[in-house]
Amino acid sequence: MKLRILGCSGGIGGCLRTTSMLVDDDILIDAGTGVGDLSIAELAAIDHVFVTHSHMDHITSIPFLADTVGWMRSTPLAVHATPATLEILRSHIFNWKIWPDFTEIPSKDKPFLRFEPVRLGVAVKLGARSFTAMPANHVVPAVGYHVDSGRTSLVFTGDTTTNDELWTLVNQIDNLRYLIIETAFCNRERDLAVASKHLCPSMLAEELAKLTRTPEIFITHLKPGEPDLIMQEIDDCARAYRPRMLRNNQVFEL
């Protein structure tokens, strides 16, 4: 299994793309602006999207994906998310006001899009690949994902703040090799991080102290204009964990 980073920024501008990851050639984890860099053929090959939460930087490409390649496909694109997130997508995106309801067109019998609910701790198996929703603590209903090839696994926290429940589960993963965790704000914006349920470097260090495994750690969702400052602050307070900044087009072998 290969996982390629299509976008990992907390915003846009220049080469920045928001959160999206491509697993092999047929699965997305989140669908931020990075999905737009794929070719039409690559877009048409995507069968599944696993969504962490409903914020625009994580779901913005789903409406365009259905509209662009739905007619090229013989089966609907499956969007996997918690029931709460699916209800938000139904009510606020695919509602005929913001975007057409592609779960009903071109017909209810043969739609371009279908919604598939996920439950915390219940794996969705696609061949040998397994995707399990993990708890996240954000301002809207949210999850992270544990991605397991059967040999090696990766945890993506999604957008989250402090979260003891997550670390209890992460520490039980014997084959964990990679951890991708957000740090959206610098330390001077800790109050904003707390209010918006994100992390800053000092909070990240407090969270990583709960980790008993030794995965390679990568930092995502840094705010534009501040990545160097945030990474320097992370190095100052969490150097022992050797965290690195996640980058577009980085590939993880699982």
What's residue 67's pLDDT?
Answer: 97
Average model confidence (pLDDT) across the chain: 97
- Transcribe 116-137 into DSSP letters: EE--BT-EEEETTEEEEEEE--
Q: What percentage of residues in the chain have a pLDDT greater than 90?
A: 100
Neighbouring-strand partners of residue 114 = 78
Round to whole Å and give the CA distance between 131 and 118. 10
Band of residue 109 on the pLDDT scale cut at 50, 70, 90:
very high
What's residue 134's pLDDT?
Answer: 98
Question: Residue range 70-78: average pLDDT?
Answer: 96
Contact 120, 135 (CB under 8 A): yes
The two structure tokens encoding residue 164: 């003891």
For residue 37, the 8-state DSSP code is G
What's residue 230's pLDDT?
Answer: 98
What's residue 85's pLDDT?
Answer: 98
Helix (H) / strand (E) containing 81: strand 77-81
Band of residue 11 on the pLDDT scale cut at 50, 70, 90:
very high
What's residue 87's pLDDT?
Answer: 98
Q: Which domains does the chain have, with CATH numbers?
A: 2-253 (3.60.15.10)
User: pLDDT tens across 112-162, in order?
Assistant: 999 999 999 999 999 999 999 999 999 999 999 999 999 999 999 999 999
User: pLDDT tens across 195-234, in order?
Assistant: 999 999 999 999 999 999 999 999 999 999 999 999 999 9
User: pLDDT tens across 24-52, in order?
Assistant: 999 999 999 999 999 999 999 999 999 99
For residue 4, the 8-state DSSP code is E
Q: What percentage of residues in the chain have a pLDDT greater than 70?
A: 100
What's residue 69's pLDDT?
Answer: 97
The two structure tokens encoding residue 98: 């913001």
The two structure tokens encoding residue 187: 């330390």
Maximal CA-CA distance, the chain: 56
Residue 36 three-state SS: helix
Helix (H) / strand (E) containing 65: helix 61-69
